[in-house]
Structure 1
Amino acid sequence: MELNRNQYFFAGILLVLIGMQLRMVSSFVLTPEVTQMLAKPAAVAQGGAPPTLAISSTAAGITGARKTVKPPEWLGWCLISVGSVLILHSLAMKKPD
């Protein structure tokens, strides 16, 4: 399948928006369920048993172990740059028939 102008433009817009979000946010806090889902393959790769996270309910809701993801600063700039190049490339291509 060959990509046309519209698909390059869409991919460029998507990468620019994701890159802008990564530049505006310093860290992401994952839910306990997602943290446990990510911990299982890591434990299996290290040869251990999959960990179980203790989740206790409180008056404010369900709390448990939460992983904080801090993306590097360069990642946002990289996605913005690649997205910009894709947008410019799409504008240089001929229009689809």
Structure 2
Amino acid sequence: MELNRNQYFFLGIVFILVGLQLRMVSSYVLNEHATRFLAERTQSSSSSATMVSFTSDVGALPKKVINPPEWLGWCLISFGAVLILHSMAMKKPGG
């Protein structure tokens, strides 16, 4: 599938908005369902696997906190700007 000018522009806007979101928020706290999903999928250690099986019966896991690095927001903003500039350099659709 080949992307046209409008799709590049839209992707650029989305990347810029996600990058701005990452720059504005310092950390994200996942809910219990998302924390359990990550713990079941990653199982980085055997203690976390036993913790998941133990806490699924008793109650809630401690909520996972994600701290994205500062450079990630800048990277997404830059990539979005490049996509928008690329879309401006392409020919207009239908013409």
In which range does the TM-score fall when normalised by the shorter chain? 0.7 to 0.9
Q: Structure 1, residues 33-89: CA drift from partner, whole Å, max 9, x if none? A: 10000000111x656746233426xxxxxxx41000000000000000000000010
> Where does residue 84 of structure 1 map in the other structure?
81
> Where does residue 28 of structure 1 map in the other structure?
28
SS at match of 2:41: helix
Give 1:90's aligned amino acid: S
| % identical equivalent positions | 57
Q: Which has the higher strand share?
A: 1
Q: Which has the higher helix share?
A: 2
Q: Is the 8 A contact 1:35 1:67 kept in 2?
A: yes
Structure 1 distance, partners of 2:45, 2:67, is 23
Structure 2 distance, partners of 1:20, 1:55, is 35
RMSD between superposed Cα atoms in Å: 1.8
Structure 2 distance, partners of 1:78, 1:85, is 11
Which runs of 5 or more structure 1 residues have no equivalent in the other structure? 57-63
Which runs of 5 or more structure 2 residues have no equivalent in the other structure? none
Structure 2 distance, partners of 1:88, 1:94, is 12
1:74 lines up with 2:71 in the alignment? yes
- TM-score normalized by the length of structure 2: 0.84
- TM-score normalized by the length of structure 1: 0.83
